[in-house]
C-alpha cells in the first residue's frame, strides 16, 4: 500500500528556504554597517554634523552647498532643526559661536525661501571688503566623473566663495550628471541678507547690524488674549523700517543675563524675538552691546475679565536711526 502525502513537502521546502534566507540576510549579513549616510547618525552626532554645516556656511557663505548638506540629514524641517539647536546651544551656554552659526544658517534658509519668490535689491549691509557673489539662477548640479561610485555624494558647487571659486555650473548636460541636483534660486539679495544676518561673514568682516546702534522707538504693555506667561517681545528694524534678523538681544537683571537673536521664530517675522519674564524681577533690554537700553521692565498684569490672572506683554520696538 502506498501513502499519498500530497504536495505538503513543497510547502515545507519553501518555508525552510525562507527561514534560512531571512536568518542569513537579517542576522549574518545585514546592510553594510560601515557605509552609512548622515541620516543614520544618532541624535548627538547629527547635532555635531549640523553645527559643522553651519560653521562651514559661516566660513564660505555658500547657501546652496549648506542646503544640500542639510538635506543629507533628512530632518523633517531643516529650518526648525537649526533654530531649535541654536536655541538649545544658547540656553546651555556651551558655545555662543556655534549657536550663532546655527542661527544664522537657519535665518539664511528662511530668507532664501521667501526671496526665491520675490527677489530684492542687493543689501548695502555687505562690507566693502566682501564683493557680492555673482547671481545664480537655475538648477545647480554636481558633476560626478565616470569613476565616482553611483550615488556618491559630492559637495554641490554652489555660490562661489568670493574671489576663490569659479562660478557654478548651470545644468547644461544632464547626461553627464547624476546625484545631487539642487533646484534653488539664489540671488545676490538672498546672500546679502544672509550675510546681513550673520554678524560674522564668510570673511568675518561683515557686521550683522551695521550703522548706528539700535534705539528704543516704541514701548508699550500689550494685553493679548490667553497669554499664559509674561513676555518681553522685541522687534528690530533698520533705518528703512524693515525687520532685521540676527540682531543680538541682551536681557539683564540683578544676578543674571540672557542673550538671543532676532529671527529665530519664523512665524513671528525676521526681526522678532521674545523672552519669558519671571514675576518680581526687573529686566533691562538692549540690542547689541552699544544699543540703547530699555529698563524697568517687570511682569505686569492687565485688567482681567475673568477670575484668572491676565499677564501683559512688554512690546519693545528698536530702530536704527
Positions in the binding site for another protein (CB under 8 A): 9-22, 24-26, 30-31, 33-38, 40-43, 45, 48-49, 52-53, 55-56, 58-60, 69, 72, 97, 143-145, 147-149, 152-155, 157, 161, 164-166, 202, 204
Q: Are 158 and 168 contacting, i.e. CB atoms less than 8 angstroms apart?
A: yes
Rounded least distance, CB 219 to another protein, Å: 38
Closer to another protein by Cβ: residue 142 or 232: 142
Rounded least distance, CB 135 to another protein, Å: 20
Rounded least distance, CB 158 to another protein, Å: 11
Closer to another protein by Cβ: residue 174 or 204: 204
Q: In angstroms, rounded to a whole number, what is the distance separating the alpha carbons of residues 306 and 278?
A: 22
Closer to another protein by Cβ: residue 34 or 303: 34
Q: Which of 218, 200, 219 is nearest to 209 (CA)?
A: 200
267: Cβ contacts below 8 Å, ≥ 6 apart:
none
Show the CA angle centred on residue 287, arms to residues 294 and 86, nearest 5°.
Answer: 125
Helix axes 43-60, 78-92, angle to 10 degrees: 100
Closer to another protein by Cβ: residue 70 or 193: 70
Rounded least distance, CB 164 to another protein, Å: 5
Place of cell 535665518: 107
Rounded least distance, CB 297 to another protein, Å: 36
Q: In angstroms, rounded to a whole number, what is the distance separating the alpha carbons of residues 131 and 82?
A: 27
Closer to another protein by Cβ: residue 59 or 216: 59
Q: In angstroms, rounded to a whole number, what is the distance separating the alpha carbons of residues 253 and 91?
A: 16
Amino acid at each position: 500500500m502506498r501513502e499519498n502525502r500530497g504536495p505538503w513537502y513543497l510547502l515545507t521546502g519553501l518555508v525552510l528556504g525562507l527561514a534560512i534566507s531571512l536568518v542569513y540576510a537579517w542576522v549574518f549579513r545585514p546592510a553594510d554597517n560601515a557605509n552609512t549616510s548622515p541620516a543614520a547618525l544618532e541624535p548627538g552626532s547629527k547635532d555635531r554634523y549640523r553645527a559643522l554645516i553651519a560653521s562651514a556656511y559661516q566660513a564660505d557663505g555658500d547657501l546652496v552647498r549648506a542646503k544640500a548638506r542639510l538635506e543629507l540629514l533628512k530632518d523633517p524641517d531643516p529650518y526648525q532643526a537649526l533654530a531649535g539647536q541654536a536655541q538649545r546651544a544658547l540656553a546651555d551656554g556651551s558655545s555662543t559661536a556655534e549657536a550663532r552659526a546655527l542661527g544664522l544658517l537657519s535665518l539664511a534658509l528662511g530668507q532664501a525661501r521667501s526671496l526665491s519668490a520675490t527677489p530684492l535689491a542687493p543689501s548695502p549691509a555687505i562690507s566693502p571688503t566682501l564683493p557680492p557673489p555673482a547671481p545664480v539662477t537655475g538648477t545647480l548640479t554636481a558633476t560626478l566623473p565616470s569613476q565616482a561610485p553611483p550615488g556618491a555624494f559630492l559637495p554641490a558647487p554652489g555660490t562661489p566663495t568670493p574671489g576663490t571659486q569659479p562660478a557654478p555650473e548651470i545644468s547644461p548636460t544632464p547626461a553627464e550628471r547624476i546625484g545631487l541636483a539642487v533646484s534653488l534660486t539664489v540671488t545676490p539679495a538672498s546672500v546679502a541678507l544672509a550675510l546681513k544676518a550673520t554678524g560674522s561673514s564668510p570673511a568675518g568682516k561683515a557686521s550683522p547690524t551695521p550703522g548706528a546702534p539700535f534705539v528704543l522707538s516704541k514701548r508699550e504693555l500689550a494685553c493679548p488674549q490667553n497669554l499664559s506667561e509674561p513676555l518681553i517681545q522685541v522687534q528690530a528694524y533698520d533705518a528703512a523700517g524693515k525687520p532685521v534678523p540676527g540682531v543680538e538681544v541682551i536681557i539683564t537683571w540683578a544676578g543674571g543675563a540672557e542673550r538671543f537673536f532676532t529671527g529665530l521664530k519664523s512665524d513671528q517675522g525676521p526681526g522678532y524675538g521674545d523672552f519669558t519674564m519671571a514675576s518680581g524681577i526687573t529686566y533691562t533690554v538692549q540690542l547689541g552691546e552699544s544699543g540703547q537700553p530699555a529698563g524697568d521692565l517687570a511682569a505686569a498684569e492687565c485688567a482681567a475679565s475673568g477670575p484668572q490672572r491676565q499677564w501683559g506683554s512688554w512690546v519693545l520696538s528698536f530702530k536704527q536711526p
